[in-house]
Structure 1
């Protein structure tokens, strides 16, 4: 059994940071969807406006929301995530 004084693996710090970024993106996605779906969709049907033949609440919450989240995920992975090896230094396979 290894001593309690051993340092925590540096990869856990990176993994925790990236997990928090993922949770933040998921929360942003939900808030975006909920805000547009219920914000614009809670009016009577007679008052709906349409974009490309779709109700505006659906267009902005589902179509624009999906594109926005997809672009944000691509940018976050490209610029904020790091490639981390799964094996420790010195491990032989």
Structure 2
């Protein structure tokens, strides 16, 4: 057997949101109601730049740039992840519909 004929497929995704980062310092993020039916409220003292909504396969469903206080959710029932971007912090919270 010639080693140059061996192939091993490698799958890689750079846009996957299945991990959970640690919130540093005393920064708190409240996401409610959880579970929800059509919207969520985000309460935090941080200045959020934007928020991304992911399903549990890591597929990005939506990006929100404004109106972070009350985000409309138009998704099927299930568990979702929010990825919040601020100047020095990125946090993920689970949202259950």
TM over 0.5: no
Structure exhibiting the larger radius of gyration computed from Cα positions: 1
Normalised by the length of structure 1, the TM-score is 0.26
Please identify which structure carries the higher helix content: 1
Normalised by the length of structure 2, the TM-score is 0.25
